[in-house]
């Protein structure tokens, strides 16, 4: 049941984000768009999803790293180094995705 709820929630979010992009009519060049709000709304939803995903990913990395350090304290240094590198890579991708989402 839990997996089904997650799949339905993801489908709902994808449909919510895709709807404004598919609903716009073709306009002549140089005319002003009245549907500009829907584009900004899609960007805001995309930015929110990016931040939530990055937060969950970095939180999971930290959780599993601390659990691993508690089980094997002798390799705590190696685990901490790998954790910091992974978190930095996730943050880099998050910033890149946010910039792309907010520019477009």
pLDDT band at 2 (very low <50, low <70, confident <90, very high): confident
pLDDT tens for 28-86 read 555 555 556 677 777 888 888 889 999 999 999 999 999 999 999 999 999 999 999 99
- pTM of the full structure: 0.61
Q: Which CATH number is 36-104 given?
A: 1.20.20.10
Name the residue ranges covered by the structural domains of the chain.
36-104
Q: Which residues contact 69 (CB under 8 A, 6 or more apart)?
A: 75, 76, 79, 80
Is the predicted pLDDT of residue 26 greater than 70, yes or no?
Answer: no
Angle at 88 between CA 82 and CA 90, to 5 degrees: 105
pLDDT of residue 72: 93
């Amino acid at each position: 049941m839990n997996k089904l709820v997650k799949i339905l929630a993801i489908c709902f979010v994808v449909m919510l984000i895709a709807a404004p992009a598919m609903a716009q009519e073709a306009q002549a060049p140089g005319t002003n768009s009245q549907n500009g709000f829907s584009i900004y709304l899609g960007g805001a939803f995309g930015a929110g999803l990016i931040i939530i995903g990055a937060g969950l990913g970095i939180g999971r990395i930290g959780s599993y790293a601390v659990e691993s350090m508690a089980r094997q304290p002798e390799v705590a240094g190696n685990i901490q180094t790998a954790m910091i590198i992974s978190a930095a890579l996730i943050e880099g991708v998050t910033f890149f995705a946010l910039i792309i989402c907010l520019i477009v």
